[in-house]
């Protein structure tokens, strides 16, 4: 609570109100009240104070203003009331603030948000939240009323920003990854721009910036590291293969020949893991939003193993899902795991169905099941210690494909049967927009319409 005399100066202030301004009550006494709020709010506050102070009877007015704190601004609702001696008593109106949950969200959300008005196709800042102030380093009073792009858009991204502004002016929503100038240098953000029209016909909007710099940099570093390691691994394995073959062919001692054979076997397994890593990268680089026919993909997988390894199927005629052609790789890796890591003659089966609004593709076998250590890592999120062979990476690929599509993976062992289930979101795409697989190449499925 605080008091205002007829000259507009603070006569007293409670500890609670002073704390809102990062001041003490003594520091506020004698301070012109209009200096405590943002410049654009001073007229609103003055009009409310004038109405209350000139009233012949008790009168109360509320107004929304932004208090100027030492390091940031704080929007609050102030209630002004006529005192018995004709002066004005003010207080923070919590009820009015609570009644505006969107303002509460605006103030507390951790993403940087700016409200703007499009004036001659230029976004003019009208308000910013505390996260914007912290991220970009501009105080509210400093940037309100200014062209947004001049403060946060790098010089080489001006044309891109202008294109977004033109879309906003046309009433279109923007969604993109952009680079913007911040208090810590240029950083990358997921940018969402949402336009709206005011009651008096002005085109305004909100821009939200979610910082993704660290995650995108890490992804790029891992991609480079992955490719460099695979390249070097492939080159060095060529030397191992060549040398081991030579030693095995020319060894007079059987023990030396056996050692060379073991080295070749180990190199083969390492090459298989490297190839599996390549297939993971290829599969996950696809469009996870593309609609595909999971039943057709599953049939293609089964056909690719015949006639050497019969794979039974119990599939619907069609099952459109979201997940892209990587769905083929997911199913193929589960079948490969069931075929290669069980004894000859083990029954392998692929089934699919719709249930509870999702699609389920299941790969079953009557082998011994997935080892507990590997199962705990993939299906139960246990700590990763060691993947003993390529099958673990194949199951990881299946899990990642399903999760990227918005689904998941499950493991079950019942009555001697191992079941790995992939869950995918059902697709509502038109039939002609759903991809199928006509032929299944050795490494990846070729999509066709």
pLDDT per residue as tens digits for the range 226-267: 666 666 777 788 888 888 888 888 888 889 889 888 888 888
180 and 121 in a single domain? The answer is yes
Residue 127, Ramachandran bin (φ over 0: left; ψ between -120 and 50: alpha; else beta): beta
pLDDT digits (tens, 9 = 90+) for 74-93: 778 888 998 877 789 998 87
The per-residue pLDDT for range 167-186, each reduced to its tens digit, is 999 999 999 999 999 998 89
Q: How far apart are CA 184 and CA 392, in angstroms?
A: 41
Burial class of residue 384, CB neighbours in 10 A (0-12, 13-18, 19+) = exposed
> Looking at the structure, do residues 241 and 208 belong to the same domain, yes or no?
no
- What lies within 8 Å, CB to CB, of 154 at 6+ separation is 179, 180, 181, 186
What pTM was estimated for this model as a whole? Answer: 0.54
Q: Is residue 82 part of a domain?
A: yes
| pLDDT in the model for residue 233 | 77
Pair 419, 293 in one domain: yes
Give residue-wise pLDDT tens across range 188-236. 999 999 999 988 889 999 999 999 988 877 776 666 666 666 667 777 8
9-24 b/e (C-beta count within 10 Å ≥ 16 → b): bbbebeeebbebbebe
Q: At what angle do helices 372-380 and 390-404 cross, to 10 degrees?
A: 20
- Tell me: do 296 and 405 sit in the same domain: yes
Provide CB contacts within 8 A for 20, sequence distance 6+.
67, 69, 74, 76, 92
Q: Once rounded to an integer, what is the mean pLDDT over residues 150-173?
A: 94
Residues 369 and 252 sit within 8 Å (Cβ to Cβ):
no
Q: Is 89 within 8 Å of 2 (Cβ atoms)?
A: yes
Is the Cβ–Cβ distance between 410 and 332 less than 8 Å? no
How far does Cα 54 stand from its chain's mean position? 55
Output 388 or 423, whichever has higher pLDDT: 423
First and final C-alpha spacing in the chain: 70
In a domain, 117, yes or no: yes
CATH number at residue 390: 3.30.565.10
Q: Which residues share a beta bridge with 349? A: 312, 364
Does 118 lie in the same domain as 22? no
Both 83 and 113 in one domain: the answer is no
Classify residue 135: in a domain, yes or no.
yes
Give which of 96, 12, 11 is closest to 62, Cα–Cα.
Answer: 96
DSSP 449: -
Q: Exposure string (b/e) for 59-73, b if CB count within 10 Å is 16 or more?
A: eebebbbbbbbeebb
Confirm whether 436 is domain-assigned: no
187 lies in the same domain as 231: no
Point out the least confidently predicted range of 298-302, 355-359, 377-381, 421-425: 377-381
Which pLDDT score, from 0 to 100, does residue 449 have?
A: 36
Residue ending a domain, choose from 213, 248, 266: 213
Angle between helix 390-404 and 326-340 (nearest 10) = 150
Which domain covers residue 308, as residue numbers?
A: 287-425
Residue 433 lies in a domain: no
Confidence of residue 306 (pLDDT cuts 50, 70, 90): confident
Nearest partner of 204 among 113, 115, 117, judged by Cα: 117
Strand partners, 32: 9
Structural domain total, the chain:
4
- The residue behind tokens 């654009």 is 40
Do 105 and 154 have their domain in common?
A: yes
Residues 326 and 353 in one domain: yes
Please check whether residues 306 and 387 belong to one and the same domain: yes
- 352 and 237 in a single domain? The answer is no
Cα-based distances in Å from 441 to 214, 304, 329: 37, 8, 11
CATH number at residue 136: 3.30.450.20
For 216, counting Cβ atoms within 10 Å of its Cβ (0-12 exposed, 13-18 middle, 19+ buried), the class is: middle
| 6-32: pLDDT as tens digits | 899 999 999 988 888 888 999 999 999
Q: Max Cα separation, the chain? A: 117
- For residue 439, name the pLDDT band (cuts at 50, 70, 90): very low
440 pLDDT higher than 60 = no
81-125 pLDDT tens trace:
988 777 899 988 766 555 567 777 787 788 999 999 999 999 999
Q: Please check whether residue 435 lies inside any domain of the structure.
A: no
| 155 assigned to some structural domain | yes
Give the domain-ending residue among 187, 213, 239.
213
Whether residue 61 lies inside any domain: the answer is: yes
| 257 shares a domain with 192 | no
Distance CA 47, CA 265 (A): 86
Domain end point (choices 234, 264, 284)? 284
């Amino acid at each position: 609570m605080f008091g205002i005399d007829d000259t507009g100066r603070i006569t007293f202030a409670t500890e609670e109100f002073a704390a809102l301004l990062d001041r003490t009550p003594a520091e506020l006494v004698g301070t012109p009240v209009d200096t405590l709020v943002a410049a654009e709010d001073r007229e609103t506050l003055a009009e409310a104070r004038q109405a209350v102070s000139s009233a012949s009877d008790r009168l109360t007015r509320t107004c929304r203003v932004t208090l100027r704190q030492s390091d940031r601004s704080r929007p609050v609702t102030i209630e002004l009331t006529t005192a018995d001696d004709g002066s004005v008593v003010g207080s923070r109106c919590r009820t009015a603030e609570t009644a505006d949950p969107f303002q509460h969200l605006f103030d507390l959300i951790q993403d940087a948000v700016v409200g703007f008005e499009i004036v001659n196709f230029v976004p003019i800042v009208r308000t910013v939240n505390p996260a914007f102030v912290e991220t970009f380093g501009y105080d509210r009073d400093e940037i309100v009323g200014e062209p947004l792009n001049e403060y946060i858009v790098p010089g080489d991204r001006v044309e891109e920003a202008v294109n977004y502004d033109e879309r906003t002016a046309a009433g279109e929503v923007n969604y993109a990854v952009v680079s913007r100038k911040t208090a810590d240098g240029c950083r990358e953000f997921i940018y969402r721009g949402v336009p709206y029209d005011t009651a008096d016909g002005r085109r305004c909007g909100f821009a939200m910036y979610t910082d993704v710099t660290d995650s995108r940099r890490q992804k790029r570093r891992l991609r480079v590291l992955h490719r460099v390691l695979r390249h070097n691994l492939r080159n060095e394995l060529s030397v191992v293969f060549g040398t081991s073959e030579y030693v095995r062919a020319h060894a007079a001692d059987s023990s030396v020949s056996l050692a060379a054979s073991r080295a070749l076997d180990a190199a083969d397994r390492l090459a298989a893991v490297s190839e599996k890593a390549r297939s993971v990268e290829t599969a996950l680089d696809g469009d996870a939003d593309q609609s595909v026919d999971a039943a057709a993909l599953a049939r293609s997988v089964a056909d690719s193993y015949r006639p050497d390894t019969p794979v039974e199927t119990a599939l619907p005629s069609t099952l459109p899902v979201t997940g892209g052609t990587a769905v083929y790789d997911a199913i193929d890796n589960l079948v490969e795991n069931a075929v290669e890591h069980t004894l000859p003659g083990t029954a392998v089966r692929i089934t699919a169905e719709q249930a509870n609004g999702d699609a389920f593709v299941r790969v079953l076998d009557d082998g011994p099941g997935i080892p507990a250590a590997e199962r705990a890592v993939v299906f139960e999120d246990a700590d990763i210690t060691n993947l003993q062979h390529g099958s673990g990476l194949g199951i990881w690929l299946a899990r990642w494909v399903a999760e990227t599509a918005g689904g998941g993976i499950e493991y079950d062992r019942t009555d001697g049967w191992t079941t790995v289930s992939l869950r995918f979101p059902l697709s509502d795409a038109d039939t002609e927009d759903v991809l199928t697989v006509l032929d299944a190449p050795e490494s990846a499925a070729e999509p066709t319409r």
